[in-house]
Structures are given as C-alpha cells and as structure tokens.
Chains A and B, each alone.
Chain A
Amino acid sequence: MDRTLSSLPVSEHVARASWWRRAAAWVDLHGRREGWLAFILMRVTGIGLVFYLFLHLTVLSTLARGRQAWDAFIALARSPLFVAFDAVLIFGMLYHGLNGLRVILLGLGVGSRRQAVLFWGAFVLSIVLTAVAVRMILMMG
C-alpha cells in the first residue's frame, strides 16, 4: 500500500535513485505516517467495538428481566457519563466503518496514491459526525 522508496527491492532501489533520494527516503515519513495511524486506529476501534458488542448483548438481557429492569437501564443510559461513553462509541463506529471502506478501496487498487487524503477525510468526517450525533443526543435527552 505504501509506495515509499525504501519499500522497493534493494537492487531496483540502487538502480533508480540517487544517493540523496535514498537518504531522504529514510526520513520521509510521507505516506507511511498516515498508513500507520490509520492501521493502529482501525485495530483499536475494532477491538473496542468487539467489546462493545459483548457489552451491548449483555445489557440487553435486562429485557428478559422485565419492565423495571429495562427502565432502570434507560435511566442510566441518559446519565452524562453514559453520553460521554456514547461519544467515544460513535466515533469508533464512524472511524472504523469509514476507514474500513477506505481499506476496501485500497485493497481493490482504487485510490492508492490518495490514501493519506482518504485517511484524513475519514478521520475528520468521523469527528464532525460524532459532534453532530452528540448534539442530537443532548437535544433529545
């Protein structure tokens, strides 16, 4: 995915590049930095979402315990701490989903040269949509 100079086989590397370009490639984080950040965030949000899925299905068992148990849970879900937790969750869903679509495009060979832009697009859009969602929650609750 990351077509940095240093990812080329050594022979090609030597054949193609002047020494200063080879040296520059060592400190050139361009295209690598975003790829790395995108990957780490993808992994962290993926693991977080798996934990949330377990938590969600466990919490929903209150439905089996009847109306009072459910009402108590809903009251808890409206507390400020829970809304803060919602914000983290919503950001995780948005980033993982949007970056997942980016990874799929890149896997299909689409947009490789724009991978960094696509990452920042997914990241910023996730933040903006999280803010919109939190505003909606605060206005509803």
Chain B
Amino acid sequence: MWIWQALSGILLTVLLVVHMVANHFVVEGGLRTYEDVIHYLSNPFIFALETAFLIVVTSHALMGVRAIILDLGISPAADRRLKAVLVALGAVIVAYAVWLTGSVVLRA
C-alpha cells in the first residue's frame, strides 16, 4: 500500500511539474485560450502525457483517501466495500476526464 503511495508520489513529482509548466508557465498570460487548449490537446504525445497524469493522480488521491479512512480504524469488511467504492469512483473520474479531453480534441 505505502509503496504504491510512494511510487505514485515520485511519478507525480515529475508529472505535476510538467503539467504546471506546460499549462501555465510556458503559456502567454498563464492561461490558454479555447483554441489553444484544443491545439494543445490535439498533440498525441501531450494527450498521452495528460492522460497518464490523470490516472496516476487519481490513483494516488484515492489511495490516500483510503489510507486516511483506514487510520480511523474500520473493519476488514468495511475496507473491502471502501475499496470497491474507490475503484468505481476512480474509474468514473478517469472515464469522465478522458471523455472530456477526447471531445475537445474532436473539435479540432
């Protein structure tokens, strides 16, 4: 458990910095226009990178939520249900966000 929190944390250090630099630091005015967002996400490499970030950050965040709830002390049965809920929630989040970025690219 902790090892995944640590490994995803290390990955996030890289992906979060790349995300911030690519979306804000190198952008004139710090925020993209609508056309620029479409153009940015239409690059297949960028799309893959942002999707990787999405998956890693969602996993790390939901594993972190589980760690906090486990600290409150819950039964193994409750933990199994919690895991099922968090996995489903993670799948919904990733599906929604990929749908969103995918539909943006289709406007190009």
Contact = CB atoms under 8 A, between A and B. Distances in A.
A50 B28 CA distance: 28
A140 interface: yes
Given A57-B96, A63-B100, A100-B9, A78 B61 contact: no
A127 interface: no
Contacts of B64: 46, 50
Interface SS majority for chain A: helix
B37 A70 contact: yes
Chain A, interface residues (CB within 8 Å), range: 20 to 34
A141 interface: yes
Interface residues of B, number: 28
A57 B97 contact: yes
Given A53-B61, A141-B29, A104 B100 contact: no
Given A67-B34, A97-B13, A107 B104 contact: no
A100 B13 CA distance: 9
Interface in A79-102: 93, 97, 100-101
A101 B30 contact: no
15 contacts: A43-B68, A46-B64, A50-B61, A53-B57, A57-B96, A63-B34, A63-B100, A64-B103, A70-B33, A70-B34, A70-B37, A97-B9, A103-B6, A107-B2, A140-B30
Interface of B: 2, 6, 9-10, 12-13, 16, 20, 25, 28-31, 33-34, 37, 57-58, 61, 64-65, 68, 93, 96-97, 100, 103-104
Interface of A: 43, 46-47, 49-50, 53, 57, 60-61, 63-64, 66-67, 70-71, 74, 77-78, 93, 97, 100-101, 103-104, 107, 136-137, 140-141
